[in-house]
Amino acid sequence: MDFFADMKPGASLINFARGDILVQDALTAGLEARRVDHAVLDVFMVEPLPETDLLWSNPNVTILPHISAPTNKRSASAVVAKNLTTYFTDPRMPVPVSRDAGY
């Protein structure tokens, strides 16, 4: 089934779920055929999205830096406090950020 062929022309797509639920070639074809007017993407099959990927230069695609939701100061503070407490007990950050991966 071609999901994008069944969409009304001019539809938009937002993917904050998982990168593997979206077939990128099908999305690209949907954008080119104007079945999809715009796509907002936060996740990809390969992360981070390679710099050479054509999605970066597509004016009908907004790429987010894997931040599917705004940060809630209270819950984020609780996570940071827990991570620091864990770090002082066991000098490893429980949920590290990978600077090499870019997120």
Cα–Cα distance, 39 to 15 (Å, whole number): 8
Catalytic status, residue 99: no
Q: How far is CA 55 from CA 13, 51, 88, in A?
A: 14, 9, 42
Catalytic option among 18, 38, 51, 92: 18
Q: DSSP E strands: which ranges in 16-96?
A: 36-41, 61-63
Catalytic status, residue 51: no
Catalytic status, residue 47: yes
Compute how many other C-beta atoms are within 10 angstroms of the C-beta atom of residue 27. 21
Catalytic option among 66, 74, 92, 99: 66
Catalytic option among 47, 74, 92, 99: 47
Catalytic residues: 18, 47, 66
